Chains A and B, each alone.
Chain A
Amino acid sequence: MATTSEAPVLDVRGEICPYPMLRTNRELDDVRPGVAELRVITDHPPALSTIPPEAMKRGYGCEISERRSGEWEIRIFSAEGAAD
């Protein structure tokens, strides 16, 4: 995995819909506006189909990887960070 270790991490494990998506949006919009990369950790599978579309509406790219059974990392990156 080509994730940069210094990228900020948002851990939303334990949260269920719609909070993983709402908290990711708030992170992108208010807490870290214009952030180049954000890694979101979730154990709520439905969030895998709600977070990426919302991030992409904001012009980000998305990459999902499985950390372990029932736990995923969504890497959200700005367009220039996409080519690795």
Chain B
Amino acid sequence: MLRKLVGYDNISRVTALLAPRRTVDRFTVAGLLAIAGLAAVYLFALRVDAAWPVFWVAGVAFGIVSQRSRFCFVAGFRDLFLMRQGRMMRGILAGLAAGSIGFAMIMATVVPNAGSGVLPADAHILPLGIATVFGGLLFGFGMVLSGGCVSGSLYRMGEGYVGSWIAIAGVLLGLYGLNRTWNWWWDHQISSDRISWLPTDLTYTGAVAVTLALFALAFFAVSWWERGAFRGMSFVVPVTSASAAPPPPSTSPSGLWRRLFREEWTPLAGGLALAAVNIVLFIRYRPLGVVGELSRWSADLGATLGAGVGELKGISDIPGCVPQFVEGTWFTDAFMLNVGIVAGAFTAALLAREFRPRVPRGPRRYVQSLAGGLVMGYGAGLGLGCTLGAFFSAIPSLALNGWFYAAALAVGAYAGTAFIRRFP
């Protein structure tokens, strides 16, 4: 029997080595139909609004990259505590580093003099205070409990995970609760919180240097924590009979297709690709973020059901992940982004032959997904974003709130990990 030795560093090649390689089957047909669907929505979006196709493409790209690299902010934090594994966190750090350099260049173009007191519009420079930390703690705990963060649950919805649909329902409920209590938080905390943008005092060069130095520190800390526990590990993957022929060289067209859509990407490739999506979207409009739109959905759904959230104080002064209400329509550019994530992951999962409905095991897991989503939703509303908006887009905005949110995420995820260890 043909066998292949796969090392720990190349662990991501496994699924592709295994997948049977019949050329046309129902997954190929469904995948091609899905691609046609993505293209049709793109053409439709072109005719509606200049921003729509851009957000659609960004969402689809985000979904595809996440599905292919199994990018997971939860795994990044949780696996450090659970198994001392830092693979995903290193991918996240690489994405943050690339994003920071790109964002700095964009912001330096918009606001050349960082000390002028003018802030680059749309960058995720947010009020920093108790709400940031409390929101991050809740979010970190909730995401570990539900097994996916907000953007992670969105893309897993497209892969067929029923639990992720439940988790997003929980997130909507949590955001609704936050919106009902928002004005209290605004009056007592957020309205008096200061913002802190590193380039104000450090200039762009200094802020980027400090940020990159912190990433380097975090990178070495993760590797020290791991202590080479996984170095040199390799295991045997038998190549199944359906794919007994050796794979085509990766330079041929079918080889490239295979690398992109059949082989899993490494977390490092995923992190860098997501940073690229984030940079392009910021150049055209604003950084990635999904929570503001989910928050709007929860508020609008509440209003439809006769229990509106009323006026939300101060949200028009905050950039980033707050609900943007557009009079008279349910459909916005941010809607295209969120739905694009689900659609992109769905398409990628079909092409990878990995799509299948996955039903949680037993009532306990449904409760876990819903409760985790609920806590995470409240935290995301309070912290003005999720692992995307308040972390993956905020740290590259060179804003101090991103670092405080990150630290709170880590503590919350630690508590969540301790909790699920006792919750089999």
Contact = CB atoms under 8 A, between A and B. Distances in A.
A26 to B, nearest CB: 8
A66 B19 CA distance: 7
Given A2-B1, A45-B70, A46-B72, A65 B238 contact: yes
A5 interface: no
Given A14-B359, A45-B70, A70-B353, A56 B233 contact: yes
Q: Range of interface residues on chain B?
A: 35 or more
Given A16-B147, A53-B8, A56-B233, A66 B78 contact: no
Given A53-B233, A54-B83, A65-B18, A18 B240 contact: no
A77 B269 CA distance: 32
Interface in B255-310: 264
Contacts of A18: 78-79, 82, 147, 420
Interface string A46-73: 1011101110110001111110011110
Interface string A10-27: 001111111101110010
Interface in B156-176: 161, 163
Interface in B223-278: 229-230, 233, 235-238, 240, 264
Q: Range of interface residues on chain A?
A: 35 or more
B14 A14 contact: no
Contacts of B325: none
Contacts of A37: none
Nearest to A71: B356
Given A49-B12, A61-B235, A66 B70 contact: no
B263 to A, nearest CB: 12
Contacts of B358: 13-14, 16, 43-44
A49 B380 CA distance: 29
A66 B238 CA distance: 9
A13 B27 CA distance: 21
A54 to B, nearest CB: 6
A12 B85 CA distance: 21
A17 B149 CA distance: 12
Contacts of B359: 14
Contacts of B147: 16-18
Contact of A70 (B11, B87, B238, B354): B354
A64 B18 contact: yes
Contact of A14 (B12, B230, B233, B360): B360
Contact of A49 (B11, B163, B229, B354): B11
Contacts of B235: 52, 56, 61-64
A64 B14 contact: yes
A39 to B, nearest CB: 13
Contact of A1 (B11, B238, B424): B238
A67 B335 CA distance: 37
B68 to A, nearest CB: 11
Nearest to B12: A49
B8 A69 contact: no
Contacts of A56: 233, 235
Interface string B67-103: 0001010110011001101010000000000000000
B47 interface: no
Contacts of B264: 45
A46 B70 contact: yes
Contact of A17 (B1, B15, B74, B236): B74
A66 B1 CA distance: 15
A64 B240 CA distance: 10
Interface of B: 1, 8, 11-12, 14-15, 18-20, 27, 70, 72, 74-75, 78-79, 82-83, 85, 87, 147-148, 161, 163, 229-230, 233, 235-238, 240, 264, 353-356, 358-361, 365, 420-421, 424
Given A22-B424, A53-B230, 11 more contacts: A16-B147, A16-B148, A43-B356, A45-B15, A46-B75, A53-B233, A63-B235, A64-B18, A65-B18, A65-B237, A66-B18
Interface of A: 1-2, 12-19, 21-23, 26, 43-46, 48-50, 52-54, 56-57, 61-66, 69-72
29 contacts: A1-B238, A13-B358, A15-B365, A16-B148, A17-B74, A17-B78, A17-B147, A26-B424, A43-B356, A44-B358, A45-B70, A48-B11, A48-B14, A48-B15, A49-B87, A50-B85, A52-B235, A53-B85, A61-B235, A61-B236, A64-B18, A64-B235, A64-B237, A65-B18, A65-B238, A66-B240, A70-B355, A70-B356, A71-B356
